[in-house]
Structure 1
Amino acid sequence: MANLEKTASPSSSEEKPSGNKEIIVPSHLQSNEDLSASFGVDEKALLRKLDLRLLPALTLLYLLSFLDRSNVANARLEGLTTDLHMTGNQYLTGLTLYFVGYVLFEVPCNIVLKLTSPKTWLPTLTLAWGIVATLLGVTQNMAGFFVARFVLGMTESGLFPGVVFYLSMWYKREEQHYRISLFFSAASLAGAFGGILAWGIAHMNGVGGLHGWRWIFILEGILTVLVSLIAYFFVANYPSTAKFLSEEEREAIHARLASNNDATRNEAFTWTNVSLAVRDPKVWLYGLGFHTMSLPLYTLSLFLPTIIKELGYTAAQAQLLTVPPYAVATVLTITVAIASEKLKIRAPFIMGASSLAAIGYIILLSSKKPGVGYFGTILAAAGIYPATAIVLSWPANNVSGQTKRATANAMQISIGNLGAVLGTQLYRSTDGPRFFLGHSFAFGYLCCNVLVVGTLWMVLRKENARRDKGERNDRLIGVDENEWLGDEDPRWRFQT
């Protein structure tokens, strides 16, 4: 049982629930010290192969997704609102509409993924938002901008929760967190690339009779379209049908997952399983965990160029100065993910990173010096991105039942992005250069994140303790020994 002691940690088979039913670990959670050796496949080499085949492709798609949603901040500095005759408040409305579309279509998109396949659905989503992102560069008025931002949110909504669910079908529970965090690091990387690209593309102002901000949307959107067409060939399906695997490797993956989670179970989609997620209080806490991070996350990514410019820098300087905060955030996101994985803890790292970001906002609120304020933006990014990465990977580790997990992942993003909807209205042009309202909300949300995550940490630890004592074993009365009750099963342990 060594493997499961580290992951699911089921109760010993000698524990007795009420009714004297013996606790028997079902076949899909039975452990083996080296299952892959039975198939002549080196497990470490197989993991490296999966990482190289899956992660770069998925990370590239998310990088493009984040780039295409946040480049509007760069475009604003290059004259977007002036050319489209929008006021500052009307620009904020356009940002809000993106998240309205995102929230409304989050759960439906993940249901479509469950009904179709990642090889078809993920590239199709990418193609759709790439076309919309390109069209943003040719919109002629405020109404067109509003429609394009709403549809962009709608088409991008299925990528992140879809990939989180997808990775849970390839990797063991303890292997997913680091890989989801690595995938999410593309968000901060997109911010760094976005600043450099915007600075360079802005020099195309006047080419073809178009202003520089239009070229930002057009070139980055066309790049997404081209990558999406290639993605139909490099995004793989689930292990059972992935063509890049040999039969031995396919069997080895099936065996190692069967010893660890529910990925190998043939679970049909039912609305009952969807309702299990909706009725689980822990799923709502995961959602609140991201809700309290999404406001600072998206206000920073959407307004960082403006925040830096208002500190006293030129537009060109502000584009380039967005790079260091995102670079630091990328490094820390990966570093914190590795440390969290090695120590097998989640909540303390989230709370610590949120506290670091909160210090950054204290500096932004209290200092009038440009250099000190800029340092505050670095601390804010350095805390927000690592905390968000772990928050987003948590339900993928802890929710069992494929449809329930897919729904929980989508619910988390939907609930979370309601914070982004609010955040898009907080940084008004009249509030600069200090942006007291926006910075105060971000600080308050980060403090709330510490409270929410601390509460969830306590709930999960208490539930694990109850299961260790056998208090939930009555759920197994009358249940076949190989039947699995999802994360309600008393043999399941939550990662805290």
Structure 2
Amino acid sequence: MMDKNVKLAEKYDPAEDCALGSIAMDDKMLLRKLDWHILPLMFMTYFLQMIDKISINYANVMGLQDDLAMSGNDFSWLATAFFIAYAVAEVPQGALLQRFPVIKVLGVNVFCWGIILCCSSAAKNFSHMLALRILLGLMEAVIAPSLTMYTSMWYVRAESTPRYGFWYCGLGAGQLVGGLISFAAQQAPVNMSFGGWRIMFVVIGVVNILVSLLVIFFLPNTPDEAKFLSDSEKRRIAQRLTEDQAGVGVKVFRLRSVLEAFGDLQTWLLVLLTILITFPSSVITTFSAILIKDFGYTSEESALLNMPSGVVSGAALISAAFSIANIIGPQTFQAKDAPRYIPAKITIVAANAAAIIVSTALRIVYGKRNSTADRLGTPARSRVETRLAEKRTVHDVHDDENFRYVY
């Protein structure tokens, strides 16, 4: 079935309407309206997935290991199991995004995050918590692809990039607020049977459930279904996406596109770069609170001192490589190396150094490709040919078919 967004795009025929500005519309006003209606909840979902992820970090300094009778590298395996599940679930979650409305798939998953977090408060041993972290990893795999796809359904490419950055800032905000939640939960009386990290999991879980309901019932599936947009605004969105040649929410799997990506050197350089960049961040996500506590601070102080790192957090991640790095990262911290963890620290420094080398290699590859394109020149096409190409691109976006791709 053709996507509703594509149907909307067909209302604007670029082959027949050759005047780019034929639909009179204040684009800045339109963008502001879109930003106010959809970006806050997108930010909140990314913010919550970060809090969900690092909640285990704060729970560690709040007595989780003692309460669940964990030993050795059990805690490292809680983190690793989460990201193994995260990586495994990328394909089935992607299939769901292709089959069902993107925002509904996201909303249901966020609801499941909340249920799992609430259940985590009742864990009695390591096995219980391990199973729940695996389930959470399976459900959180949807976050990056769903938000990326949803953003591209509303904004042209040049506008999408800063919007990606906006909702990605939820990562740093999650770490910042997570420290406050942990600190507040630790103020509960120590003699409470249900206190500390268990209260923290319940609070975070309930917030997830509330936000999921807003996502499901407030965010429209497509621009065509947005009640806050007029018909002229909907047509303008379709026109802008068509002119951008980025596609309009097309949900079609093409093996040719996959093979092209796997045969491109930049794909593998980006995967390697993301692993190297994310490798140290996985350690911060899982072990930062306990490392701070080892300097002699109390659990409450560790939670608060872990907050500043959230302010400066921010790095674009590729989902598969993100998962690989996070699977490997926690395993560098072995119980036998405590309390200084020298081998793990050396590994982190080496990974960052290697990331610099790979980034330089990518810059060289991109420079050569752009130089080659400039040398070959850009073929001239008539206005009608360009318009027809734009109309085709709405339905089938493919790099090697596009007019000119600049890195």
**CA-atom RMSD in angstroms:** 2.6
1:405 aligned residue: none
Q: 1:146 to 1:51 in 2, by over 3 A?
A: same
1:468 aligned residue: 374
Q: 1:62 to 1:124 in 2, by over 3 A?
A: same
Q: Does 1:322 align with 2:306?
A: yes
Measure the CA separation in 1 of the matches of 2:126 and 2:104: 33
Q: 1:284 to 1:416 in 2, by over 3 A?
A: farther
Calculate percent identity across the aligned residue pairs.
27
Q: Does 1:138 align with 2:122?
A: yes
Kindly provide the amino acid, as one letter, of the partner of residue 80 in structure 1: L
> Is 2:378–2:404's contact at 8 Å kept on the other side of the alignment?
no
1:106 aligned residue: 90
> Of 421, 431, 437, which aligns to 2:337?
431
> Is 1:118–1:235's contact at 8 Å kept on the other side of the alignment?
no
Q: Does 1:486 align with 2:398?
A: yes
Q: 1:489 to 1:315 in 2, by over 3 A?
A: same
Deviation at 1:70, TM superposition (A): 0.6
Deviation at 1:437, TM superposition (A): 2.2
> Is 2:155–2:241's contact at 8 Å kept on the other side of the alignment?
yes
Q: Cα deviation per residue 1:179-224 (whole Å; 9 max; x = unaligned)?
A: 1111111111111101111010112255762131111112111211
Kindly provide the amino acid, as one letter, of the partner of residue 169 in structure 1: M
Q: Does 1:455 align with 2:367?
A: no
Q: Does 1:268 align with 2:174?
A: no
Measure the CA separation in 2 of the matches of 1:309 and 1:225: 31
Unaligned 5+ runs, structure 2: 1-12, 380-384
Measure the CA separation in 2 of the matches of 1:265 and 1:147: 35
> Is 2:103–2:221's contact at 8 Å kept on the other side of the alignment?
yes
Deviation at 1:296, TM superposition (A): 1.4
TM-score, normalization: structure 1?
Answer: 0.72
Deviation at 1:27, TM superposition (A): 5.5
Unaligned 5+ runs, structure 1: 1-25, 330-384, 393-411, 474-478
Residue 161 of structure 2 aligns to a residue in which SS? helix
Measure the CA separation in 2 of the matches of 1:429 and 1:145: 19
2:26 aligned residue: 42
Measure the CA separation in 1 of the matches of 2:259 and 2:280: 30
Kindly provide the amino acid, as one letter, of the partner of residue 59 in structure 2: A
> Is 2:98–2:252's contact at 8 Å kept on the other side of the alignment?
no
Which stretch shows the higher mean deviation, 93-102 or 291-300?
291-300
Measure the CA separation in 2 of the matches of 1:65 and 1:426: 24
Deviation at 1:256, TM superposition (A): 1.4
> Of 130, 133, 139, which aligns to 1:155?
139
Measure the CA separation in 2 of the matches of 1:271 and 1:291: 25
Q: Cα deviation per residue 1:373-405 (whole Å; 9 max; x = unaligned)?
A: xxxxxxxxxxxx33x13xx3xxxxxxxxxxxxx
Residue 135 of structure 1 aligns to a residue in which SS? helix
Number of aligned positions between the proteins: 383
Q: 1:31 to 1:86 in 2, by over 3 A?
A: farther
Deviation at 1:150, TM superposition (A): 0.8
Q: 1:68 to 1:289 in 2, by over 3 A?
A: same
> Of 446, 454, 461, which aligns to 2:352?
446
Kindly provide the amino acid, as one letter, of the partner of residue 319 in structure 2: I
Q: 1:74 to 1:31 in 2, by over 3 A?
A: farther
Q: Cα deviation per residue 1:346-368 (whole Å; 9 max; x = unaligned)?
A: xxxxxxxxxxxxxxxxxxxxxxx
2:283 aligned residue: 299
Measure the CA separation in 2 of the matches of 1:311 and 1:27: 64
> Is 1:287–1:413's contact at 8 Å kept on the other side of the alignment?
no
> Is 2:185–2:195's contact at 8 Å kept on the other side of the alignment?
no
Measure the CA separation in 1 of the matches of 2:358 and 2:59: 35
| 1:169-188 correspondence runs (5 A) | 169-188=153-172
TM-score, normalization: structure 2?
Answer: 0.86
Which stretch shows the higher mean deviation, 197-206 or 115-124?
197-206
Kindly provide the amino acid, as one letter, of the partner of residue 145 in structure 1: M
Deviation at 1:98, TM superposition (A): 0.1
> Is 2:52–2:117's contact at 8 Å kept on the other side of the alignment?
yes
Q: 1:243 to 1:207 in 2, by over 3 A?
A: farther
Measure the CA separation in 2 of the matches of 1:274 and 1:104: 18
Residue 223 of structure 2 aligns to a residue in which SS? coil
Q: Does 1:60 align with 2:49?
A: no
| 1:352-391 correspondence runs (5 A) | 385-386=313-314, 388-389=315-316
Deviation at 1:413, TM superposition (A): 0.9
